[in-house]
Amino acid sequence: MSETILEMRGITKRFGGVAALSSVSIDLRASEIHAIVGENGAGKSTLMKILSGSYPHGSYEGEIWIGGRRVQFSTPSDAVKSGIEMIYQEISMHLDLSVAENIFLGRMPKKRGTVDWKAAFRNAKKYTDMVGLDVSVRQTLRDLSTSRQQMVAIARALSRDPKILVLDEPTSALTESEVETLFDNLFRLKERGISCIYITHKMKEVMRLADRVTVLRDGRHISTRSRAEVTIDSVIEEMVNRKIGNLYPKQAVPLGGEALRVEELTVAHPYSTGKNIVDHVSFSVRRGEILGIVGLVGAGRSELVSGIVGAIPIAGGRVFVDGKPVSLKNPRRAIRRGVALLSEDRKVNGYVPTMDIAQNVSLASIEQIADRSILRPKRERDFARKWIGELSIRARSEKDNIMSLSGGNQQKVVLAKWLMTRPGVLLLDEPTRGIDVGAKAQIYEIMTALARQGMAIVMISSELPELVGMCDRFIVLSEGRRMAEFQRGEADEEKFLKVAAGG
């Protein structure tokens, strides 16, 4: 058995009278990838904030031991000095500095008292090569995609020669090829003796990468087992404390008439003159049907649904709702015609962080809670309580600020906002991104119930298993064009990837 390089013993952390962690103990071995999983609110992030020094010694109970020596971190820099590097899901970088400056920020190489730019660029290139990132290290970070910014963050961590690398949902913003590169890098780091703590909601990543798996639930340690001792189902069941059954509760329902038809929809590329990011795409969806939109990053999936509801301008094409041509020039018109879009990033345009649950639920339906332009707070709260009950939103009351909720419950509040508009067509763009397995299962159950009620649903997801598990029919996009259509019985992930990649 490999030597133990890190131990967190009996960690307890309280916020007021609430215990976020209750006597949690974990260990990390040399050259190991140790996955830590659990629902949102299980305590994973709190535990890692203690390890990183973000919650200083004295603010929690318990001990941290590294290399057989007890350590006490007062600041994140103390953790860095002990060889711990954190890669967070939320990218924290300086967008107006170059790649090289971000990698060596605060420790730029110097020569005769000034920055040695040649050395900085040369050394930065070594680390971008190490993570398989093919960009100029002189390039401004703002000019890179989110996924490439994430790879720069990983390169920065490696440049500090860490002993322990903690990765929190590192693939959430990466493309398929970048995910493969990251996995290759992690396996190489293992060979170099670097140990990793890997936090993710994606069970396939756990089964592929982890040497051991620790499950946390409600701030308590549930189990730590080798990968050979666990299955995806057993891990999920420990996370949610119940038999999960079939994760995808898809049911066959009688299909009604056509609810939405899109003909030759075209969206101009925002940066490349003369190029379309959505190029003459046509499809339809019927009542009770869940249609999956498949494609790699950059295929035009989000732009397609944003164009349908008028969130971005279209260059051509027509939209029909219930067989009638409509002009959806903005989201307000789309709402009035019964078309709603749950957008890709709830933090950017899904909710207002300074508002409570009730205010966020009513955002798209102000006319339902107003009399003669006067808002009725009691009516707003009544509607919110209704949706809290119907969607099983875990909150103390409708007056709770939305930022106090877990990611899964925030997503259900955003979904409630759109369901309150009583749509006939619901467009879901990455509806389960960044939420835990238990919350995903609840979202799937809600989708199934809505389809059973006759709602037409269009679903975009980067997680192919959930598309295969939840959809009746699929269209595949590649470089803005519709490439193929598949029925439920003939769809599989390998076929999707081949077509989406231009095969």
**116-152 pLDDT, tens digit each:** 999 999 999 999 988 878 889 999 998 887 778 878 8
Identify the pLDDT of residue 502: 67
Per-residue confidence band for 59, with pLDDT thresholds at 50, 70 and 90: very high
In angstroms, the Cα distances linking 445 to 38, 69, 412, 440, 498 are: 20, 48, 12, 9, 30
R_g of the chain, CA atoms, integer Å: 24
Tokens of 448: 């199934």
Per-residue confidence band for 204, with pLDDT thresholds at 50, 70 and 90: confident
The pLDDT of 48-74, averaged and rounded, is 94
Sign for the pseudo-dihedral over CA of 203, 204, 207, 209: negative
The pLDDT of 188-192, averaged and rounded, is 86
- Tell me the domain boundaries of the chain: 4-240, 258-338+423-500
Q: What's the mean pLDDT when you consider all of the chain? A: 89
Q: Is the pLDDT at 475 greater than 60, yes or no?
A: yes
Find residue 226's DSSP bridge partners.
Answer: 212
Does 45 or 24 have the greater pLDDT score?
A: 24
Per-residue confidence band for 310, with pLDDT thresholds at 50, 70 and 90: very high
Q: Is the pLDDT at 472 greater than 90, yes or no?
A: yes
Report the C-alpha gap between 108 and 123 in whole angstroms.
10
Burial class (CB in 10 A: 0-12, 13-18, 19+), 1: exposed
CB 361 within 8 A of CB 416: yes
pLDDT digits (tens, 9 = 90+) for 250-267: 888 999 999 999 999 999
pLDDT digits (tens, 9 = 90+) for 109-119: 898 889 899 99
Q: Is the pLDDT at 85 greater than 80, yes or no?
A: yes
Identify the pLDDT of residue 322: 94
Q: Is the pLDDT at 340 greater than 90, yes or no?
A: yes
CATH homologous superfamily, domain 258-338+423-500: P-loop containing nucleotide triphosphate hydrolases (3.40.50.300)
Identify the pLDDT of residue 90: 65
Portion of the chain with pLDDT greater than 90, in percent = 53
Those residues with Cβ within 8 angstroms of residue 285's Cβ, 6 or more apart along the chain or in another chain: 258, 259, 260, 291, 425, 456, 457, 458
The answer to which of 138-152, 216-230, 279-293, 399-413 has the lowest mean pLDDT is 138-152
Answer CATH for 4-240 from 3.30.300.30, 3.40.50.300, 3.90.650.10, 3.30.70.100? 3.40.50.300
Q: Is the pLDDT at 484 greater than 60, yes or no?
A: yes
Per-residue confidence band for 1, with pLDDT thresholds at 50, 70 and 90: low
The DSSP result for 139-196, as a single string, is: SBGGGS-HHHHHHHHHHHHHTT--SEEEEESTTTT--HHHHHHHHHHHHHHHHTT-EE
CB 322 within 8 A of CB 259: yes
The amino acid sitting at 403 is M
Closest by CA position to 168, among listed 240, 249, 84, 94: 84
The pLDDT of 311-335, averaged and rounded, is 92
Using alpha carbons only, give the angle 186, 436, 297 rounded to the nearest 5 degrees: 60
Q: Is the pLDDT at 449 greater than 80, yes or no?
A: yes
65-96 burial code (b ≥16 CB/10 A, e <16): ebeeeebebeeeebbbebbbbbbbbeeebeee
Q: Do domains 4-240 and 258-338+423-500 have the same CATH topology?
A: yes
Per-residue confidence band for 173, with pLDDT thresholds at 50, 70 and 90: low
Per-residue confidence band for 435, with pLDDT thresholds at 50, 70 and 90: confident
What are the backbone angles phi and psi of residue 158, rounded to the nearest 5°?
Answer: -70, -30
Identify the pLDDT of residue 245: 58
Report the C-alpha gap between 466 and 483 in whole angstroms.
20
Does 159 or 39 have the greater pLDDT score?
A: 159
Q: Is the pLDDT at 239 greater than 90, yes or no?
A: no
The answer to which of 239-253, 374-388, 457-471 has the lowest mean pLDDT is 239-253
Identify the pLDDT of residue 182: 82
Cα dihedral: 138, 142, 145, 146 (round 10)? 120
Identify the pLDDT of residue 503: 59
Those residues with Cβ within 8 angstroms of residue 378's Cβ, 6 or more apart along the chain or in another chain: none
Closest by CA position to 296, among listed 207, 388, 176: 176
The pLDDT of 164-185, averaged and rounded, is 81
In angstroms, the Cα distances linking 223 to 25, 53, 240, 369, 464 are: 10, 25, 13, 47, 29
Q: Is the pLDDT at 376 greater than 90, yes or no?
A: no
Identify the pLDDT of residue 442: 86
